[in-house]
């Protein structure tokens, strides 16, 4: 009997998964496999295509193990696509003129980008965003461009916009629908996504279409005319307005094709010709849909592989009848997820919504009258996706409202994935259940036996939690899905190996799935803080908006100011020890008057100015810097203030000069980036007027010197500080605080206050005292060296900013109209000042009742 020949047309993600499925089932050992591909390179991860612009290479994105093709005897012909199919003779003819016979033909031709038929669409400077070759062309052209526009605000459009932004272009997004990502998320989710994206400096135009791409006499892009009569000046246009199935080859061969495109297949993915199959985005499934996600394509690939596996497969399986369209993505650094009936199409269903516009978080769950979870949308915080999606179709063990509320607003501890039923699908890319995962003993075994965690990677952390809960693996203590290390371990890696960039750290120490990805919004600001803390010791710039650092920061750090609930910002100059001259008070008053700011003296002995628009920040800070003020770091996870009483200089009870000490400590530790914000106080006597024992580190004067207290404050969980050492001289006090702060920065977890850290760290206060007072670990010299490097390397961020025109370019509400104020920032008068004219309903049902 002759060896059968299987010809695969296309070598994308689904085509490669089909080859792997055949190899797993032993088909490659008894059949000849030939793959004809259009692109000049083997299959690569198109989902992470944008990561090419953040340093990933084509090899990094490759999905093909170096010896996979040779090991299984698979012939791959790159750059030679099939151009004709002769079904009668069962042959295909490639572009090179080569004719090849087949017994089974599998079409995995994917899709092509849709370009709206507008005048100028083929002009020089117009691109699509689909392949690595497209990215190379965009990258080259962008070197001579300043402004770019993306037509399309869907998944790929936002990826393309992120790429243009990363290339240094002022970037516009034009979306015909009234919101971004209209297919995946609802109006509320679109609004949250819009606000976050605009805060990054991108300009979004929704509800308008592209009427024409305008050009100069040479046919080069100069702008775009929009359907509402407006226009954009742009040098580069990327069309990302959706995709269409690549079915022309099938049409020409006489195969049945859907009215709106797609090669018609049955539940086994067989076309109208029994010898021809179609899988992935080119196929119109038996449920009448063309699936544009990779997970359904993978399921189609395994369906055909099962059918072709004569004795080892599942020829009687139900085949492919539909797929889960749930998706979790990170677009422009924002978590976005949708699952199930995300738009609430079922009759009589209810929406349970939590919205925090300031944080850019929107969560909606759709439930029926019995409490059954039907679907949901998550924007800005999609951590619960791994648990919520498998619960779709069931009644959760807690009310839906509790599933969307954040901690501190009445929500119970988050449900762990161990509460899911065994049949719950954890990995939607490879359709792997909780039961199958828990049957394995380790993450490598899970990946090898089930392929769970090898697709998009969003399930890796849940897998680790399941293995730990089942006793089959250690608890995953990693910071996030990108790193298997705690924050403290990452600090040691950065310090010891002298790592100076996030990309380098991700490449060298990220989880397997993160190689080829861009990281996440958990680890980015954490690593940014670690790099900023160690920057002086590493000999690199500690300015948080330089180079790569700018893309890693939390929202507040993006503009060196705290964003407030109506989108305005606060101005908080540093006033060490609360001591201020009349001249500086006058400057603050004049600035507040001239810019119409709300003014408040805080409990931390500072004067806060509220209500500045983003484009006003440099103007205000220029005046404050000229008057001798510097940043109070109210926006950063760093030292905020060192409060003090007036001490022995004025007070009849004072025994030490608390103002002098407070000023010295605040100036020493200003700008020190840490796991969480830090507050301190110095009291001039035991009467404790500065409330030093309610601070992260507090100092109380005694007749013999100073007592040092640590681990107070605690935020929402108040805690009195503990006495670390007593009767210290000035030099001894500063030395111990240096050690304490650097030991905390070195060992604390992400967003862990000193109070929580002191209670969590093994040995508690006694251990900390042994380390920082008695040098039990021999670390003190190193801790002091690191603090000295920080003190010597400190530079005021706002002083550096207002003197640098390039850095000032980011402070605009609208990139295309830098002098235009944000019309959504409004105020109303109250008590002779202003307050935001905005209220948000955070939790509602569709019927308007509070949930």
Sign of CA dihedral 342, 343, 346, 347: positive
| Mean pLDDT, range 367-394, rounded to an integer | 83
Which phi-psi region, left, alpha or beta, contains residue 805 (left: φ > 0; alpha: ψ -120 to 50)?
A: alpha
Rounded Cα distance between 61 and 469, Å, is 33
- In the chain, the percentage of residues whose pLDDT exceeds 70 is 88
Asked which of 191-205, 290-304, 557-571, 676-690 is least confident by mean pLDDT, the reply is: 557-571
pLDDT at 515: 44
**134-143, 175-184, 245-254, 688-697: segment of lowest average pLDDT:** 175-184
At the top level of CATH, the class of 324-415 is alpha beta
Residue 828's DSSP bridge partners are: 835
Q: How far is CA 731 from CA 354, 649, 659, 664, 665, in A?
A: 51, 20, 16, 12, 11
- Considering 46-50, 55-59, 117-121, 351-355, the range whose residues carry the highest mean pLDDT is 117-121
pLDDT of 468 > 90? The answer is no
H-type alpha helices, 171-212: 187-199
Residues 708-719 have a mean pLDDT of: 82
The dihedral over CA atoms of 56, 59, 64, 66, expressed in degrees to the nearest 10, equals -140
Query: What is the H or E stretch that residue 536 is in?
Result: helix 523-538
In sequence order, the 6+-apart residues with CB closer than 8 A to the CB of 122 are none
- Check whether 520 has a pLDDT greater than 80: no
Q: What is the DSSP letter of 229?
A: S
466-487: average pLDDT: 75
Question: What pLDDT, on the 0 to 100 scale, is given for residue 554?
Answer: 63
> Distance between CA atoms of 44 and 28, rounded to whole angstroms?
21
Q: What is the predicted pLDDT for the residue at 480?
A: 77
pLDDT at 841: 30
Q: Which of 126-140, 205-219, 348-362 has the least mean pLDDT?
A: 348-362
Who wins on pLDDT, 824 or 562?
A: 562
Question: What's the rounded Cα separation, in Å, for the pair 791 and 207?
Answer: 51
Residue 843 has pLDDT above 60, yes or no: no
Residue 216: count other Cβ atoms within 10 Å of its Cβ: 11
Cβ-contact 135, 49 below 8 angstroms = yes
Q: What is the pLDDT of residues 410-427, one digit of tens each?
A: 444 446 677 777 777 778
Written as one string, the DSSP assignment of 171-182 is EEEEESSSSSST
For residue 224, the SS3 value is: strand
Pick 730 or 340 by higher pLDDT: 730
Q: Which residue has the tokens 């596996």?
A: 309
Report CA Rg, the chain. 30
pLDDT value at residue 321: 62
pLDDT band at 825 (very low <50, low <70, confident <90, very high): confident
- What pLDDT does residue 594 have? 93
Residue 556's pLDDT is: 64
CATH fold for domain 632-795: Sulfite Reductase Hemoprotein; domain 1 (3.30.413)
Determine the length of the chain. 851
**pLDDT above 90: percentage of residues in the chain:** 44
Mean pLDDT of 319-335: 66
The pLDDT value recorded for residue 608 is: 92
For residues 503 and 515, what is the distance between their CA atoms, to the nearest angstrom?
10
d(CA 566, CA 606): 22
Q: What is the dihedral of CA 52, 58, 63, 66, to 10 degrees?
A: -150
Topology at the third CATH level for domain 115-241: FAD/NAD(P)-binding domain (3.50.50)
Q: Which residue has the higher pLDDT, 751 or 724?
A: 724
Does 182 or 174 have the greater pLDDT score?
A: 174
Angle subtended by helix axes 523-538 and 487-497, to nearest 10: 30
Domain range 417-471, CATH class = mainly alpha
**Above 70 in pLDDT, residue 774?**
yes
Contact 111, 243 (CB under 8 A): yes
* Mean pLDDT within 761-783: 92
Top pLDDT among 470 and 708 is at 708
pLDDT for the residue numbered 412: 47
- Per-residue pLDDT at 353: 86
DSSP track, 258-277: -TTSSEE--TT-B-SSTTEE
Q: Mean pLDDT, the chain, as a whole number? A: 85
Same fold, 5-112+245-308 and 115-241: yes
Chain centroid to Cα 599, Å, comes to 34
User: How confident is the model over 682-709, as a mean pLDDT?
Assistant: 94
Report helix, strand or coil for 789: helix
CATH architecture of structural domain 5-112+245-308: 3-Layer(bba) Sandwich (3.50)
pLDDT of residue 311: 43
Q: What is the dihedral of CA 788, 793, 797, 800, to 10 degrees?
A: 160
d(CA 506, CA 514): 7
Distance CA 434, CA 459 (A): 11
What pairing do the DSSP bridges indicate for beta strands 221-226 and 231-233?
A: antiparallel
- Please give the Cα distance from 559 to 476 (Å, whole number): 34
Please give the order of strands across the beta sheet that includes 126-128: 126-128, 236-239, 147-151, 170-175, 203-206
pLDDT at 567: 73
Place of tokens 């990170």: 330
Higher pLDDT, residue 4 or 406: 4
DSSP character string of 8-38:
EE--SHHHHHHHHHHHHTTGGGTSEEEEE-S
Is the pLDDT confidence value at 583 over 50? yes
User: What number of other Cβ atoms are within 10 A of residue 705's Cβ?
Assistant: 18
Specify the pLDDT at position 241: 86
Domains of the chain by residue range: 5-112+245-308, 115-241, 324-415, 417-471, 487-542, 632-795
CA dihedral 266, 271, 277, 280 (to 10 degrees): -70
CA distance 353 to 188: 9
* Alpha helices in 695-793, H assignment, sequence order: 730-747, 754-760, 764-772, 780-793
- Answer yes or no: are the C-beta atoms of 38 and 133 closer than 8 Å: no
d(CA 230, CA 227): 7
Q: In this predicted model, what pLDDT tens digit does every residue of 276-316 receive, in sequence order?
A: 999 999 999 888 888 887 888 988 999 999 999 864 334 44
Tell me the mean pLDDT in the region 442-461.
Answer: 73
pLDDT band at 50 (very low <50, low <70, confident <90, very high): confident
């Amino acid at each position: 009997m002759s060896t059968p020949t299987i010809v695969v047309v296309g070598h994308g993600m689904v085509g490669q998964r089909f080859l792997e499925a055949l190899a797993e089932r032993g088909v490659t050992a008894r059949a000849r496999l030939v793959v004809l591909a259009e692109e000049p390179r083997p299959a690569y991860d198109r989902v992470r295509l944008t990561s090419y612009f953040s340093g990933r290479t084509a090899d990094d994105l490759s999905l093909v193990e170096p010896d996979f093709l040779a090991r299984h005897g698979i012939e791959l012909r790159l750059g030679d696509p099939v151009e004709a199919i002769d079904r009668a003779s069962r042959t295909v003819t490639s572009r090179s003129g080569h004719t090849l016979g087949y017994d089974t033909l599998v079409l995995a031709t994917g899709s092509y980008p849709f370009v709206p038929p507008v005048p100028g669409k083929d002009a020089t400077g117009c691109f699509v965003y689909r392949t690595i070759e497209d990215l190379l062309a965009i990258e080259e052209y962008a070197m001579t461009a300043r402004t770019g526009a993306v037509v399309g605000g869907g998944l790929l459009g936002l990826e393309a916009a992120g790429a243009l932004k990363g290339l240094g272009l002022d970037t516009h997004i034009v979306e015909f629908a009234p919101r971004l990502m209209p297919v995946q998320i609802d109006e509320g989710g679109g609004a949250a996504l819009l606000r976050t994206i605009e805060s990054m400096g991108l300009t979004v135009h929704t509800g308008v279409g592209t009427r024409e791409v305008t050009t100069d006499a040479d046919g080069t892009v100069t702008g775009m005319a929009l359907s509402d009569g407006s226009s954009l000046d742009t040098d580069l246009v990327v069309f990302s307005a959706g995709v269409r199935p690549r079915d022309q080859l099938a049409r020409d061969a006489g195969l049945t094709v859907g009215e709106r495109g797609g090669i018609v297949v049955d539940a086994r993915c067989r076309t109208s010709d029994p010898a021809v199959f179609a899988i992935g985005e080119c196929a119109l499934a038996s449920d009448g849909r063309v699936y544009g996600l990779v997970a359904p394509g993978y399921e189609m690939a395994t369906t055909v592989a099962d059918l072709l596996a004569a004795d080892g497969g599942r020829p009687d399986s139900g085949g492919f009848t539909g797929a889960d369209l749930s998706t979790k993505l990170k677009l422009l650094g924002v978590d976005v997820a949708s699952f199930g009936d995300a738009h609430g199409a079922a009759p009589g269903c209810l929406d349970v919504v939590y919205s925090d516009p300031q944080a850019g978080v929107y969560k909606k769950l759709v439930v029926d009258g019995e409490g059954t979870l039907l679907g949901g949308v998550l924007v800005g915080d999609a951590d619960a996706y791994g648990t919520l999606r498998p619960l779709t179709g069931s009644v959760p063990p807690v009310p839906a409202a509790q599933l969307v509320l954040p901690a501190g607003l009445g929500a119970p501890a988050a449900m762990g994935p161990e509460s899911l039923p065994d049949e719950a699908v954890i990995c939607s890319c490879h359709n792997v259940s909780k039961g199958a995962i828990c049957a394995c003993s380790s993450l490598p075994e899970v990946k090898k036996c089930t392929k769970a965690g090898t697709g998009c990677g969003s399930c890796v952390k849940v897998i680790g939690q399941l293995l730990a809960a089942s006793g089959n693996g250690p608890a995953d203590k990693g910071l996030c899905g990108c790193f298997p290390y705690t924050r403290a371990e990452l600090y040691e890696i950065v310090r010891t190996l002298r790592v100076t960039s996030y990309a380098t750290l991700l490449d060298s120490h990220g989880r397997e799935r993160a190689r080829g990805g861009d990281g996440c919004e958990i680890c980015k600001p954490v690593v940014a803080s670690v790099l900023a803390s160690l920057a002086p010791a590493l000999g690199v710039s500690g300015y948080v908006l330089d180079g790569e650092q700018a893309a890693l920061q939390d929202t507040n750090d993006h503009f060196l100011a705290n964003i407030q609930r109506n989108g305005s910002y606060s101005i908080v100059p540093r006033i060490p020890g609360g001591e201020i001259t009349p001249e500086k008070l006058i400057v603050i008053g004049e600035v507040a008057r001239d810019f119409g700011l709300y003014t408040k003296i805080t409990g931390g002995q500072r004067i806060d100015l509220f209500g500045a628009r983003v484009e006003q920040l440099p103007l205000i800070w220029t005046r404050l810097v000229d008057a001798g003020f510097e940043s109070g770091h109210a926006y950063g996870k760093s030292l905020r203030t060192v409060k003090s009483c007036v001490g022995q200089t004025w007070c009849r009870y004072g025994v030490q000069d608390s103002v002098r000490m407070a000023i010295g400590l605040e100036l020493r530790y200003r700008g020190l980036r840490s796991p969480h914000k830090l507050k301190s106080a110095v009291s001039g006597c035991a009467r404790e007027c500065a409330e030093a024992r309610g601070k992260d580190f507090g100092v109380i004067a005694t007749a013999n010197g100073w007592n040092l207290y640590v681990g107070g404050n605690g935020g929402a969980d108040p805690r009195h500080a503990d006495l670390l050492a007593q009767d210290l001289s000035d030099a001894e006090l500063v030395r111990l605080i240096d050690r304490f702060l650097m030991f905390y920065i070195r060992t604390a977890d992400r967003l862990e206050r000193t109070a929580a850290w002191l209670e969590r760290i093994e040995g508690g206060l006694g251990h900390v005292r042994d380390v920082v007072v008695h040098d039990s670990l021999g670390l003190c010299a190193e801790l002091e060296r690191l603090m000295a490097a920080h003190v010597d390397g400190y530079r005021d961020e706002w002083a550096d900013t207002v003197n640098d025109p390039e850095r000032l370019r980011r402070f605009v509400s609208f990139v295309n109209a830098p002098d235009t104020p944000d019309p959504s920032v409004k105020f109303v008068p109250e008590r002779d000042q202003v307050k935001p004219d905005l209220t948000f309903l955070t939790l509602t049902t569709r019927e308007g009742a509070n949930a």
